[in-house]
Structure 1
Amino acid sequence: MKNLLRYHFKVFLKSNKLLVPFLIYLFYLFTAYGIIPYSIVSSFSESAWVVFFIMTYVGFSYTEVENPVTEQLVLLKVKNDNLYYLSRIVVLLIVGIIMSVIGMLYPVISNIYNSSQLFTRELLLSDIMFGLALHCMMGFLGAMTGALFHPRIIKNRKIAILMVFFAAVLAVAKGALIEEVPFIGFITWIFPPVYDILVTFTNNEYFSLQTIAIPFLWGLLYGTALMFVQIYVLKKNKF
């Protein structure tokens, strides 16, 4: 596993596809926390769905990095399809965790720099812990959403781009869509539950285990389901 992770990171870093997402997220953090004071729960929730969008892009772009011939050669050498595909997912998880840590470190440092005046109340350790968990879960959900549109699953890349964009947007905006067209709710449940998760924190002043436990588990289960679907289809759809 260690050698596979090293290999995947080397391939991904050489593609330079990670630079733009990180710069975009840093720019977002810089502009978002430029207005003070800010509600902790709402700001962390907003930052988390931005991580979802960015990791959806990262997951999607990651599927196009490796050359199919090289992938076949590595699979032949490893002789374990599950291990190979899991190692790719672990790389995405690590990227998502790094992005999430940045998303939490920036406001914490900025709050210290602004003499604890960045937020409307005192920043607690529980806020940081629950906020990081929310970011990591959203990162995982986004990565698995983007990775599902693999070239061997959706061969037409133009359609794949439209589909992943559509899925990411509806994941966040389906609440507003259901309000306008209620019956559409029978369809939108299949999209990532980003809205369903974040709406539970609306008007909340504090994070708590009671409020975050079920949304966190729901996002984790949905992302895990996407992961297994991807691995199953990739193993079935050979080169």
Structure 2
Amino acid sequence: MSAFVRYELLNFIRSLKFIPSSVLYLTWVFIMYAYKNVPILSSYGASSIALYLTMTWMAMAMFTMEEEGEKHILFAHLGSKSKYLRGKWLAIFISMIPLMLFAIFFPILTGSFKGGMTSEYYVLALFCHVIFGIFGVLVGTLFSATRFATKKYAWLSAVFVLVCSLASKSLIETAAFLKWILWLFPPVFYVIEHMGNEFIVNKEFWIDMIFVILYILLAAQIIVWLFLKKER
């Protein structure tokens, strides 16, 4: 598995497909911290949302690197299609680490924040970026490695999911019945609502975090099943 992950990372670097998404994300972070005395949590919330979009793009780029013939050779070499998927995910998450660390530590090193960092802020910033990165990878995988990955509508469908998940709170306030549909989309606001001016650990926070983790586990299992069904 480790050899496959290294192969994927080197292949991804050589393809240069990581450049557009990475450059746009780094540019976003630079612009966001061009001014000093910005609020800590809401700024991390904004960079987490940008990472959500970036990792969707990056996941779709990585899953479309190989042709069908090359992919089946990798299946045979690994001995398992699920290992292929897990290896791809691991390679994508490794690719995410530099972007995530840059978004967390750049404003600290440049003194852009209003107020000082605390251990709770570090944990929350890391958690928020990781969760949003996972959301992005799941969306990207869904529309590039399953039967939803139709060449004509894959990117449009991914953008639709991203927009609906980010605007879910406003959509529900506009039409309450949509909450029964929008629970299918990544629950980004269950995380982002806690990235306000003040961080409070209460019962609502833990309920939201448990729901987010359960959503990720269930969504990952469904995507694995859809991937294996497509590759039969």
Equivalent of 2:143 in 149, 153, 156: 149
- For the pair 1:186 / 2:180, whether they are aligned, the reply is yes
Which residue is equivalent to 2:62? 62
1:97-112 equivalent positions in 2, closer than 5 A: 97-111=97-111
CA contact (8 A) 1:47 1:103 kept: yes
TM-score, reference length from structure 1: 0.88
Does 138-147 or 224-233 show the bigger shift?
Answer: 224-233
Quote the RMSD (CA, aligned, Å).
Answer: 2.0
1:22 Cα shift? 1.3
CA distance in 1, matches of 2:126, 2:203: 16
CA contact (8 A) 1:5 1:87 kept: yes
Change (3 A) 1:172 1:155: closer
1:9 Cα shift? 1.0
Which residue is equivalent to 1:115? none
Does 19-28 or 227-236 show the bigger shift?
Answer: 227-236
Residue deviations 1:129-175, cap 9 Å, x none? 32112111111111111111125412522211111000011111111
Residue deviations 1:177-220, cap 9 Å, x none? 11122222221111110123212333x42365877654444333
Which residue is equivalent to 1:122? 116
CA distance in 2, matches of 1:21, 1:171: 20
CA contact (8 A) 2:190 2:209 kept: no
Change (3 A) 1:126 1:151: closer
CA contact (8 A) 1:56 1:145 kept: yes
What letter corresponds to residue 56 of structure 1 in structure 2?
T
Which residue is equivalent to 2:213? 220
CA contact (8 A) 2:128 2:191 kept: no
1:98 Cα shift? 2.5
What letter corresponds to residue 47 of structure 1 in structure 2?
S
What letter corresponds to residue 70 of structure 1 in structure 2?
E
Name the count of aligned residue pairs. 232
- For the pair 1:230 / 2:191, whether they are aligned, the reply is no
What letter corresponds to residue 33 of structure 2 in structure 1?
Y
- For the pair 1:136 / 2:130, whether they are aligned, the reply is yes
CA distance in 2, matches of 1:205, 1:238: 47
CA distance in 2, matches of 1:63, 1:208: 38
Change (3 A) 1:205 1:107: same
Change (3 A) 1:57 1:155: closer
Structure 1: runs of 5+ lacking an equivalent: 112-117
CA contact (8 A) 1:33 1:107 kept: yes
1:70 Cα shift? 0.5
What letter corresponds to residue 123 of structure 1 in structure 2?
M
CA contact (8 A) 2:40 2:114 kept: yes
Change (3 A) 1:66 1:214: farther
CA distance in 1, matches of 2:42, 2:173: 21
1:67 Cα shift? 1.3
Residue deviations 1:53-81, cap 9 Å, x none? 11111112222111110010111122122
- For the pair 1:18 / 2:11, whether they are aligned, the reply is no
CA distance in 1, matches of 2:203, 2:103: 23
Which residue is equivalent to 1:196? 190
TM-score, reference length from structure 2: 0.91
